[in-house]
Structures are given as structure tokens and as C-alpha cells.
Amino acid sequence: MNYFSTNFTLGILGGGQLGKMMLYETRKWDIRTSVLDPSAEAPCRIAADNFEQGDLMDFETVYNFGKKVDVLTFEIEGVNVEALEKLESEGVKVYPSAATLRNIQDKGVQKQFYKEHQIPTSPFKVYKDKYELNEAIVRKELHFPFVWKSCTGGYDGKGVSIVRSAEDVIPLSEDACIAEKLIPFKNELAVIVARNPSGEVKTYPVVEMEFHPEANQVEYVICPARIDDAAANKARAVASKVSEAFKHVGLLAVELFQTEDDEILVNEVAPRPHNSGHYSIEASYTNQFEQQIRAILDLPLGNTESKVGGIMVNLVGAESHTGPVMYKNIEKILAMEGVTPHIYGKRETRPFRKMGHVTIVNKDLNKARIIAEEVKKTIEVISE
Amino acid sequence: MNYFSTNFTLGILGGGQLGKMMLYETRKWDIRTSVLDPSAEAPCRIAADNFEQGDLMDFETVYNFGKKVDVLTFEIEGVNVEALEKLESEGVKVYPSAATLRNIQDKGVQKQFYKEHQIPTSPFKVYKDKYELNEAIVRKELHFPFVWKSCTGGYDGKGVSIVRSAEDVIPLSEDACIAEKLIPFKNELAVIVARNPSGEVKTYPVVEMEFHPEANQVEYVICPARIDDAAANKARAVASKVSEAFKHVGLLAVELFQTEDDEILVNEVAPRPHNSGHYSIEASYTNQFEQQIRAILDLPLGNTESKVGGIMVNLVGAESHTGPVMYKNIEKILAMEGVTPHIYGKRETRPFRKMGHVTIVNKDLNKARIIAEEVKKTIEVISE
């Protein structure tokens, strides 16, 4: 198949920052793209050859969009799977597949999948609504504390709560949910696995994530993770097992816990480029977006090793600011060594809204970590 | 000045591959852009916020375009300088300035500039047309062999000839030209210098260029150049002197000869991102296009050092092929270590047309060089 400077068209469901960064790679290779997103102001509105505005959860919209492309992918899990299934049955290549997405979209189904495939994960129960959850608590089948997760729609800390008492149950949504055992862990890790239709598989190095204590969003992603080789190898092995079980095509970002006893547990996965892989744009031989394109087009996978150490800092809206965005002190961080900001192109900031990220690279990871803290202290995402 | 996710607009004259690669950086920082190019099929037609079709040499077109932007730059020297001068006089920031461009656009003026500024360059004479040139030959004031260069319009080996006999004079154009002494050199080198309006200056490492013997186009660009430190320091010093003399804003690519006696002579300069800096996208801490944006927006300049060794191979159309392009064996080079192709997006190939480039990076430059040869032997730019 000849993808380069031809009429071959890659369709992308979702036109947010992940799609936008994917478009750097399609532009680099002159691969024709068509993007569907509900917002006319989506970051992908330019740089795609064709942009359509429409509802990603609407069967007809997704189906009609998919009929006009040669390969269809997505940058967000919240898309109409029935439409993907129909498109697949009619010969459109959908990568990752509708089946992969079905196993991931619903967190209850995803946990069940791990159980069936003997993939280590924290013990859990699925409840079809809040009524069932309450009943389990009342009957003392479910004990505090536990981790509550909405089965659908949760991301960036939304749809996840640590429930320590009956009071914490009150604000939870009515939706189907899972309750997981709260397991003390010493590290939150992630491994990105790439797989193409020919079955070639490559894993990226293990990264370490530090979370913002209040917003429950990732604050630093550090590559490579500062863990010993045994733990890193174990994490990569578990991630490979997950990838093997899903037989996905494209990227699979596998989020992991390293427990106090050095067990590796799968937290959850995302079948797409992931926040934990943004460091790769500056640090890796093959960045995750290029790798995604290679994988879904069945091209050979690229080298996943790093040229230099990389740390990623999310740029989120400051707590008390809502309105037109201003990146205060951005010129100061640009003067720091190895610092690259990425601005997603959202005009309005809101508290904790993901507005961009900054990568800090350095041959010495410890130096990068010091500079990352400077970056964090210096730049502010405020409104004018 | 707040450039990021605002209505600030950067205007770019020219929408070819250099502009296209510059747009990766404006997208990364969400800087609004407007591009002017004569072709509706220009590689910049997407990814710019606004694209206009028009003649870059036409005063009114360039002037009217420039009036609508906040900072104006160009990715090609062939633009109407009078329009730039008028825009400058009316307060539009034009970087590099019209004055810099005036000193560079005409090769006779450029050589004269070096002479006046005691910058080492090969001896030369300027002739206002072919009649004068012929006369100098007949009067034995000018001796074979010499290097003939058209004063305007030459690039990529066009407008340059080595004249060894009266026969070689016949096909030369009627235009104003220079005749340079043919000096035997052992290396052709280049240094990119970045300078911002605040006067901050940074030089990139010296690169070494190998030319295709027939097409007179660069075949390999190797960073760092495989020359001794003394020669490298001398080359950087000469490039800095050139930059200081021009007081340019933005990038200045300085092409140099290293003579048999280890003299460094300036060949010519380009006031913009340059083919000899493409390796920087994958190999440098700050690629040349990001550096160009930093420089013209008076932001702090980024680190010009390399993460890894880099080699660039131009992808030019195969000799006997004209028509819709096909990149034969591109999947084979994608399987090689550290290989990144860039496809400029031209639908039609022609013999020796610049269609893209490939970067090969490796911690070991000698390994990169071996892989670069493999790449060169493997990929073919043909028509379907």
C-alpha cells in the first residue's frame, strides 16, 4: 500500500491534543487525513486535510465518516463502537479494533478481561448501579476504604474516588461502577506497547508517574523510571502479556502499580497515544505518535529506546483562573536547558484543564528532574 | 508579547517544505500563522491558519499580505524587497530585515559585502551581463577554469557552473553574474547561526556536506563534521563573524569551504532554515525551525548541541521518472535503525526534484554513515 503523497486517507475519531500531535507525523509523511470532532474549535481543526464536526457517540455520524476513509483510528475511547463494528464488517480497517475497544471502554469489562487472562490486577467487584453498591456496603460485603471507579466516561481523575467512609459515598454518580481493593503502592508506572497487524511488538521503557495530590492528574512523567532492573523487567513483561491478551493494533498504554511488596498490578490501559508517552517526542528515537502511525499502517515499528533522559510536566489551568489563557513566564522556561513547551491550542483556561505539557530532556536524568521542578515553579497557566 | 493561543499572527512568505517544517513548530506552540505562496498546491496549504495564493515578487501582493500580520518572515529569498522595506517603514517587524535580504539576494552584492567586511571568500569579479563576461575572457582578464554564478535566482545547483573552456560559456544565461576563482577544497562545510533582536547569538555545530557529482545537490549532510577541532573552531568563528556583519535576525546558514591549506572561505549564506540543518529535527536539542521561531519572536535561543549524531540524505526524483510520485522501498528504510523520512508533499516527481529527506541518527556517527548509505541504495523516488 502506498500511503505517501497519495489519496489514501487515514480517518481519526477525535480532534484533541492527541490527534493534533498525531498530525505532526501524518504531515511529516504527507499522509492524507480526515478528522471528526464535536468541536469546531478542536486543536485538529487545521493540519488535517479534511475536518468534520460531529458527535463521536452518534452511530450515523461515525459510520458515515468511516465509510470515506481507508484506515480508521481514534484518539479518544468515547466513540460509537457499534459503528466501528459495522465498518469493520464492511471492510474498513479499524485499528485498534472494535473488539479491543469493547474490552477497554467499560472498566468493569476491562477488569474482568484481566481476571480471565490471569493478568495481575487489584481485587474488584462490579456493581450495576449505585443501589447495588449501597446494598453491598450495608450488607458488609464491601468494606471501607475502597477505590470507586465509574465503569464509563472517567478520565484524568474524573470518575475515580477513594471512598473511606459512608460520607464519601454520597457524591458518587448513579452509574455502573467497580469497587477495587485499595492497595498501598510505592510507584505508579506505565509502559507503552506498540503492535502492528503483522504481529511485530515493541515496548517503550518503563516510565514513572508522580501525581498532583489534589487534582489527581499526572504531574511528572519520568523516563526511564527510577526503579531497579528487576522491577522494570517485570513491568515490561506484564505490559507485554496485556498486549498479547488484547492482540491490539496500535499503541496500548499500560498503567501499572508497583506495590510495597514489588508486585506489578495492572491499573488500566488506553488503546492510543498516552500522556505518559509525550516525553518521547523529544527523548525517543521514535516518538509515540509516529509509532502509532507505523503500527496502524502495518509499517515496521521504530526503535523505542531513548536518546536522552526525559521528564514531562503537564500544563494545567491554575486553580482560580477561568477565561482567555495566558502562559505566564513561558519565556523564562524557554531559557532553561532542554525545555520544550507544547501548547495544545485551547483558548480558554479552567482550573486543572489540560492546556499543554512541557518536556525536559537531559543526558543526566537527575539534572532534568531539577529543571522540571524549576519549570513547574515558574510557568503559570492563568487568564489574562 | 503574548504569542501563544492568541490572535498574534506570524506571516510567512513562501509555502514550500521549509515553511511546512516551520509550521510544525508554530502548531506546537499554537502561534497563529498566515502563509503566502504562488501555488495552491504548496506544502503549507494546510497547517497554516490562513493560506493565500499570490506572487511573492509582486509588490502589491507582498505589501497587502504583510499589512495583516504582526511579524513577517520568509522561507525563500525570492521575495519583493521593496514591499518589505515599505512594511518596515510602517512598523511591521520584518525578520530577517529587508536590508539583510538586499545584501544576500544578489550574489554580486553578497560577495562585495564579504570583501568590505574582511570576511574570507574566494577572489571574484562581478559582470553586469554576458557581454561583459565574454569581453573579459577575450581580453584575457578572466582565465579558465572559473566558477560562474548567476547573481540572482540560483539555488540547488541551478545558476552555478564550473567553466573550464570557451565551450562551457555558451549555455550560460545572459544575466548579471560573478566569476570566482576555482579553489580546490577538501571539505564543504556549513554552520547555522541564530540571532534574536536582543542580540543573543548561538551557533550550531559544523556540518559536513557531500555533493552528488552530477546533480550538484547535497547528498549527505553529516553532523558533526568529521574534521579536527581546530578547523571546526575556525569555521564557527568565521560563521560568527559573518553573522555579526549582517546583524541578521533569525537563522543564517553559512556555507563554507575548507581549502587544501585549511583556510576557511565563505561560499554563500541563506538567511533562513537550511537544508544543511534538517538533521537537527531528530538530532539536536533545539531544531532549526524552532530556533528560527525563537529568534524572530525575540524569545531566548535554545541549546544548539546534538543529542546524537545525525546524517541527512536528500530524497530527489530519480533521473528517468516524471509523474505521480512513489517512494519505492520506503517500508524497508523504515525498518532500519534510527531512520526518519520526511516527505514534503509534492505529488509529482521530476529528475533531481527535491521531494523529501531522510535523517539517520545514531550515538555512533560511523554507524549512522553506514546506515545512510543503505538508505541511499534502498529508497527510490520514482513515478508509478
Give the model confidence (pLDDT) of A361-382 as tens digits: 999 999 999 999 999 999 999 9
What's the helix, strand, coil split of chain B in %, to 5? 30, 30, 40
Confidence band of B137 (pLDDT split at 50, 70, 90):
very high
Please tell me the class of the B9-94 domain: alpha beta
What are the pLDDT digits (tens) for A138-158? 999 999 999 999 998 655 556
Nearest-CA distance B333 → chain A (Å): 9
- What's the pLDDT at B122? 96
Where do the H-state alpha helices sit in B203-355?
229-246, 280-283, 288-296, 330-334
Residues of B in contact with A300 (CB under 8 A): 331, 334-335
- What's the pLDDT at B219? 84
What is the average pLDDT across B308-329? 96
β-pairing, A93-94 vs A71-74, is: parallel
**From the CB of residue B143, how many other CB atoms can be counted at a distance below 10 Å?**
11
What is the average pLDDT across A122-129? 96
Mean pLDDT of chain A: 95
**From the CB of residue B376, how many other CB atoms can be counted at a distance below 10 Å?**
17
C-alpha to C-alpha distance for A185 and A130, rounded to whole angstroms: 27
- What's the pLDDT at B39? 95
Mean pLDDT of chain B: 95
Residues spanned by CATH 3.40.50.20 within chain B? 9-94
C-alpha to C-alpha distance for A311 and A207, rounded to whole angstroms: 9
Of the candidates A299, A340, A343, the beta carbon closest to that of B331 is on: A299
CB-based contact A4 B327, cutoff 8 Å? yes
Confidence band of A211 (pLDDT split at 50, 70, 90):
confident
Q: Which of A83-92, B112-121, B217-226 bottoms out in mean pLDDT, i.e. has the lowest?
A: B217-226
Residue A302 DSSP SS3: coil
- Percent of chain A surpassing pLDDT 70: 97
Q: Is B299 on the interface with A (CB under 8 A)?
A: yes
Residues of A in contact with B17 (CB under 8 A): none
Q: Is B149 on the interface with A (CB under 8 A)?
A: no
- What's the pLDDT at A384? 81
Residue tagged 505566564 (cell numbers) = A328
The answer to whether domain A185-383 has CATH 3.90.550.10 is no
Rg (CA), chain B: 21
Looking at the predicted structure, is the pLDDT value of residue B215 above 80? no
Looking at the predicted structure, is the pLDDT value of residue A217 above 70? no
C-alpha to C-alpha distance for A216 and A161, rounded to whole angstroms: 10
Q: Is B144 on the interface with A (CB under 8 A)?
A: no
Looking at the predicted structure, is the pLDDT value of residue B156 above 70? no
Beta bridge partners of B369: none
The answer to whether domain A123-181 has CATH 3.40.50.300 is no
- What's the pLDDT at A155? 55
Residue A31 DSSP SS3: coil
Nearest-CA distance B101 → chain A (Å): 28
Whether residue B194 contacts residue B202, with contact meaning beta carbons closer than 8 Å, is answered with: yes
Interface of A with B in 319-358 (CB under 8 A): 325-327, 330-331, 334-335, 337-338, 340-347
Residues spanned by CATH 3.30.470.20 within chain A? 185-383
CB-based contact B307 A308, cutoff 8 Å? yes
- What's the pLDDT at A152? 85
What are the pLDDT digits (tens) for B83-100? 999 999 999 999 999 999
- Strands in B380-383's sheet, in edge-to-edge order, are B348-349, B323-328, B380-383
Q: What cell numbers appear for A40 in the block?
A: 469546531
Beta bridge partners of B253: B192, B270
Q: What is the CA A226 to chain-centroid distance, rounded?
A: 21
- What's the pLDDT at B384? 81
Looking at the predicted structure, is the pLDDT value of residue A216 above 80? no
CB-based contact A326 B48, cutoff 8 Å? no
C-alpha to C-alpha distance for B51 and B42, rounded to whole angstroms: 10
Residues 6+ apart with CB under 8 A from B156: B216, B217, B354
Looking at the predicted structure, is the pLDDT value of residue B251 above 60? yes
CB-based contact A337 B303, cutoff 8 Å? yes
What is the average pLDDT across A47-75? 97
Residues spanned by CATH 3.30.1490.20 within chain B? 123-181
CB-based contact B47 A27, cutoff 8 Å? yes
Give A217 or B358, the one with higher predicted confidence. Answer: B358
Q: Tell me whether residue B188 is annotated as binding.
A: yes
DSSP at B275? G
DSSP string, B128-160: SSHHHHHHHHHTTSS-SSEEEEESSS--TTTTE
What is the average pLDDT across A108-135? 96
Sign of CA dihedral A76, A77, A79, A85: positive
Residue tagged 511529516 (cell numbers) = A28
Residue tagged 494546510 (cell numbers) = B46
- Percent of chain B surpassing pLDDT 70: 97
Annotation: binding site of A for ATP: 107, 149, 180-183, 188, 267-268
Residues of B in contact with A327 (CB under 8 A): 2, 4-5
C-alpha to C-alpha distance for B33 and B23, rounded to whole angstroms: 8
Confidence band of A215 (pLDDT split at 50, 70, 90):
low
Interface of A with B in 156-215 (CB under 8 A): none
What are the pLDDT digits (tens) for B1-20? 699 999 999 999 999 999 99
Confidence band of B223 (pLDDT split at 50, 70, 90):
very high
DSSP string, A37-89: ES-TT-TTTTTSSEEEE--TT-HHHHHHHHTT-SEEEESSS-S-HHHHHHHHH
Q: Which of B106-115, B128-137, B147-156 bottoms out in mean pLDDT, i.e. has the lowest?
A: B147-156
Confidence band of B259 (pLDDT split at 50, 70, 90):
very high
Cβ-defined contacts of A40-43 (< 8 Å, 24+) = A41/A347, A42/A15, A42/A16, A43/A15, A43/A16, A43/A17, A43/A19, A43/A344, A43/A345, A43/A346
Confidence band of B115 (pLDDT split at 50, 70, 90):
very high
Total CB pairs under 8 A between chain A and B: 103
- What's the pLDDT at B118? 97
